[in-house]
Amino acid sequence: MSVQFTVQDHVARVTLDRPDRLNAVDQATEAELIRIWETIERDRDIRVVVLTGVGERAFCTGADMKGGSGSSGLDYWAAARPGGFGGIALRETLDIPVIARVNGHALGGGMEMMLGCDIVIASDNATFGLPEPRVGRLALDGGIALLARRIPHVWAMGMLLTGRRISAADALRFGLVNEVVAPETLDDAVTRWITDILACAPLSVRAIKQMVRAGQRLSPTDAQMLRLPALVEALQSSDKDEGVRAFQEKRAPKWRGR
């Protein structure tokens, strides 16, 4: 399989497994990724996802232009792709945190997939870029839509209009990643973030992500007034009482997700 998918202890791991292609995505791989995201959305036992690629050279280098990445040009732009590149770049239906474990190059669609994640931990040898204009294409699956919303205009346009790559250090400086670590400590860093997420009530985490996504284009007052399903579920849950009880009893809470 071109994608490894495992679930253990509430953690799903989605790993692109095409190291000979620098984990580039062809049609079959994208179809498998979309299937996996849909599976994760149906499994309420999953509380966090880690997205990465096999090896140390590449997280994902985007569409596999050598191995058949599908249509291009107007056909590609006109096709319905609601989840964005890899089914994750523009996904709006996944209410659990996704951590990008960026172990190498995140280019083109690979960077778009990273932009679709909530937390980004990068190896210090990682690079980031949207080189599509250098091959006569455009970052249509999340790059153009998202990058200028995430970082200052001139930094975003500097990347988009030149196709330049930036280092992990620059990505941290731009605010695109949460943490940059040595390659040998990448897994330890990801584990720390997973541990902190799992320490939180799962329904609270779901509600937070749903509220942030829904409120992004609203005023703070209007966003605060949103009455979303995940919010109502969290406020009516038994976990809200367990959290207070555990605090009072000076112990770790035992979350039930309901």
**Residues identified as active-site:** 112, 132
DSSP string, 63-127: B-TTT-----HHHHHHS--TT-GGGTTT--S--S-EEEEE-SEEETHHHHHHHTSSEEEEETT-E
Instruction: Please return the burial class of 235, using the count of CB atoms within 10 Å of its CB with bins 0-12, 13-18 and 19+.
Output: exposed
Strand, helix or coil at 157? Answer: helix
Task: Taking each helix axis as running N to C, give the angle between helix 239-248 and helix 202-215, from 0 to 180 degrees, rounded to the nearest 10.
Answer: 120
Amino acid in the structure at residue 20: D
SS3 192: helix
